[in-house]
Structure 1
Amino acid sequence: MNNLSISTMTTRKKYGIKSKKVKENLFAYFMLAPDVIGIALFIFVPILIALYVSFHDWNVLEPMKYIGLENYKNLLSDGQWWHSVWTTLLYTLMFVPMVFCISLLLAVFVNSIPGSAQEFFRTLYFIPYSISTVVASLIWRFMMDPQRGFINDILRAIGLPAQDFLGNPKQALFCIAFISAWMLIGYYSIIFLAALKDIPVSYYEAAYLDGANFFHVFKSITFPLLKEVNTFVLIVTTIASFQVFDQIKILTNGGPADATNVSVYYIYKNAFEYMKVGYSSALAFVLFAIIFVFSLIQLRITKGNSDE
């Protein structure tokens, strides 16, 4: 009798635990459902629709006409498209190293500041990130104005000639890369700073006791221990550089002389100015493939370096 009652209690307890876990799992799924539905409706469904549209000739005003892979064949011989891809690559080569190096150096500098002054500098560097892209771009456009710009006033005051900046085909792309980096450096410096806080202080103390200087410590301790954050920042900034649009639209409209006509802006023009929605969808998927390949290459390189 006692054995029967004990086994009954054990069974009830077992099923009670299981039912509790089921309820907890159902509650978790219920809480996640709005986000999952939102991602499905506003990300995955539009991607599938864009893929479908890319196989059609469509100008929005007339019914879609199925043309198979014709859009993808046409982009292979589209000189303007490949010029925009090359322009995007140049932008990436300027933007990514600028953000990565300056963010890391700022994080190391802030981490070395003792006391409450560290919080002041951390907030100061983060302020540009809190400004919207449109507002920041307009501010820099006024500052880089060839006639009344604040930067040219400084150049004239020290005896240097005024620059066209955004009006010069040789300077415009670098200026946009600089403005974009200025807006994001504070954000990534905070990410680097958080990673620096996780490095044990004893590592640095042991290194300095052995006679190592700052550069040896940074090379042998700090940088290797940041490998995961380095990979994250490099991949995310590369993706962001291939998706740049707002600054281009506000500051240069792809000019001067197509010097800033990057891939996303070219896709935008085909979709909303030339009304080639099917062709622009095909361009978007090719751009996605390029970003995906670059991300895999970066991941493979950084993983190989960390394994060594």
Structure 2
Amino acid sequence: MTTVTNPVRFGVLGCADVAWRRTLPAFAESATATVTAVASRDKDKARRFADRFECETVLGYDALLDRSDIEAVYIPLPTGLHHEWCAKALRAGKHVLAEKPLATTHQQAAELAGLARETGLCLMENRMFVQHTQHDAVRKLVANGELGELRVFNSTMAFPPLSAQDVRYRPDLGGGALLDAGFYPLHAAMLFLAEPLEVLGANLRRDPVSGVDVRGSVLLRAGDGVTAHLTFGFEHSYRSHYELWGSRGRLTLERAFTPPPDFQPVIRVERQDGTEQITLPPSHQYRDTIDAFTTAVRDGVPLDAHLETAVRGAALMDAVRTVNQPLE
């Protein structure tokens, strides 16, 4: 694999909170990428970002896509705008790193994957948690038979209510807990369980004011019969975890999806004869995602497998909506 010697020049479409708190600080720490300009429809928002991250400002997203000095774009816009602006960016000849999920529906995700193949450009869903080395450690333990035969998978991603003005309460912008918090346990199930995954049951509770789903649970069955129970939402005390329960032991990982770069993960394995705790070194999943994307751009490596997972994830979310028995 080629070592990236010249940083990929990025433009940023939008001034989202996740870009301010997480992703652009990771860009600043990466040697493989540089943020050239940030675009917003609000001049003051763009200036705030430009001052902190030492880049130029552009008024309007189309104007940024017209720039010849931008090779790739990072899109932290609300989920409901991903399909439109990912497609425009690809057609403008830009590689695209988009916040998760890639799109609101399977059809939209499949269209974007097809457009990336057609244009020969890199398109990546910012599924940053899979870059963390803790999940490789878990997979090795499972593969080595430390848990015996897998029986059950459980996972949760939930946190307290958001500000009433948060875009995740906007149905017209792709809001809701399933697309946001639910993304993590669904993709964790895809990471560890055998395909195909079938949705046996689902419950989504909709907020009567905003109209978006604010919490939910899903029951899955994997291709080998393993079952999974997933929980997510905006109405809980914080938890981010998964658990693999087998015939010989049970493995639990807390802070599974959004650990800070300096956090040392602890894998807890419980067996009949005792409990083992395995402390792992920190891993910078935000920066590592950027570096994986820029390496693919510079090496000209298609991201077909990554996009196939994104499309399957979108199909799974569609299935959850179809099976959903609403919570009142």
Instruction: State the TM-score, normalized to the length of structure 1.
Output: 0.25
**Higher RCO, Cα 8 Å, sep 6+:** 1
Larger Rg: 1
Name the one with the larger helix percent.
Answer: 1
Name the one with the larger strand percent.
Answer: 2
Instruction: State the TM-score, normalized to the length of structure 2.
Output: 0.23
